[in-house]
Structure 1
Amino acid sequence: MIILHGFAASNYYNLVKHLLLHKQLPFQENLLYGGSDQLLAISPVGKVPAITTPEGLNLSESSVICDFIEETYPSLTFPPLYPEDSSQRAVVRQIMKIAELYFELPSRRLIGYAFTGKAVPEVVAAEVRQVLTRGITALNRLCQFSPWVAGEHFTMADIYLYYVNQVAIKFVASQLDWDLFAEVPGMKAWHETMSQSEIAQRVEADRQLNMPDFMQKLNVQFQAAKANK
């Protein structure tokens, strides 16, 4: 059985969890927080998520895990999550990478300010806006939302973008007063459709259950860092 290591407050953990549930693969969850010695023994840089395969192989990095699961466990029930055509497959992966680098990653810079209540410095805000603008332009060119991200068929890009949005949409709205949904036509309706799925609702319920423990961990880390200054 696959073991999924990490915690449910993590959007990337939930991305992999959604994929496992979508493919109806049996898996066990192992609660580990980033940077712990236990996680470092599994993930080379101590990042969440990580998986351990039934054969004992440890893997980290969400895109690597997603590709491994899709290639290793083809489904007889559901269509493949990557198109058969190599060009179409590359477009799906391109959307995933752009969403990660130009949507999620810059938005992550805002999380610390949201949790501490400090105002985002204008220099940081300007840098985040600049990178997000590049991501918005690229996603508008690549995404179709007809009805799915890459067109008629549900692909890995749908799962990936949905969980990337968990950080991007929330923290950009709260810290920069910027509605990213309004910048990418079709994304909001697609996102709402994704959120109504049984799998997404199950993942979200588990995320909410984990949040109090996660926030306590963050508070301990914040107080420790403050004391060491």
Structure 2
Amino acid sequence: MKLHTSIGPNPRVVKMFLAEKGLEMPFVKVDLMAGENRRAPYNAEVNRAGQTPALELDDGGTVTEITAICEYLEERQPSPPLIGATAEERAAARMWTRRVDLKVCEPMANGFRFAEGLPLFENRMRCLPDAAPGLKAIAQDGLQWLEGEFKGPWIAGERFTLADILLFAFVDFGGQVGQPLDPKYARLTDWFARVQARPSAAASA
């Protein structure tokens, strides 16, 4: 297998997941800034959606979308479980991953794409600049909600899971593009520091 990767929080999620699993594979770097992902051969042979990351399998097939890639890797190497070893654990991790994605990651990413990232994205996708402030506010609302729901030490409770990896990658990215984690969210700030101290955070940067 090999991973087609680039800059950005989405590829980082998979790279951090791999690091936590202790899995190694070749990385094929895709030049996102130059639009390599939006033209052949990448969007013809690897991912027709023109997005990264993409996991190229040994049989020539390809898995895209970060949660699908991580689910596949978990099935290939169940230990250590980053989604879950039981139906209950898997349900909890998937629930929190979905919540994190909808409430924080997706609005944060589009808030960036439609504002600071507009010069890069305006010719690649439909952009709604007027929506950027509202999307950023929605992401902050999501973080506020998480702060209130957080029981710790990790997003899904006692286990470090894909939900932590996903949120960390995007919160770290947000801090670089004008959407920092507000220090008033003390629980999430402490959580962020704990994730940042993990070797996988540095390995995936």
How would you bin the TM-score normalised by the shorter chain?
0.7 to 0.9
Deviation, 1:163, is 0.9
Q: Within 5 A, what are the aligned runs for 1:127-206?
A: 127-136=134-143, 138-140=145-147, 142-146=149-153, 148-173=154-179, 179-182=180-183, 184-204=185-205
Partners of 2:165 and 2:137 in 1: CA distance: 25
Whole-angstrom distance in 1 between the partners of 2:27 and 2:49: 20
Does residue 1:69 correspond to 2:73, yes or no? Answer: yes
Change (3 A) 1:39 1:143: farther
Provide TM-score, normalisation by structure 2. 0.78
Q: Among all aligned residue pairs of Structure 1 and Structure 2, give the percentage whose two residues are the same amino acid.
A: 22
1:4 matched to 2:10? The reply is: no
Q: How does 1:1-229 map to 2 (within 5 A)?
A: 2-7=1-6, 9-32=7-30, 33=32, 34-40=37-43, 41-75=45-79, 78=80, 80-108=81-109, 109-111=111-113, 113-114=115-116, 123-136=130-143, 138-140=145-147, 142-146=149-153, 148-173=154-179, 179-182=180-183, 184-204=185-205
More helix by share: 1
Structure 1 range deviating more: 60-69 or 16-25: 16-25
Contiguous gaps of at least 5 residues in structure 1: 174-178, 205-229
Cα distance in 1, alignment partners of residues 77 and 86 from structure 2: 19
Asked if the contact 2:114–2:131 (Cα under 8 Å) also holds between the matched residues in 1, the reply is no
3-state SS of paired residue (1:98): helix
Amino acid of the residue matched to residue 68 of structure 1?
Y
Q: Do 2:16 and 2:201's aligned partners in 1 also have CA atoms closer than 8 Å?
A: yes
| RMSD of aligned residue pairs (Cα, Å) | 2.7
Q: How many residues align?
A: 190
Amino acid at match of 2:3: L
Please tell me whether the aligned partners of residues 78 and 85 of structure 2 are also in contact (alpha carbons under 8 angstroms).
Answer: no
In 2: Cα distance, 1:25 partner to 1:98 partner: 27
Structure whose alpha-carbon radius of gyration is higher? 1
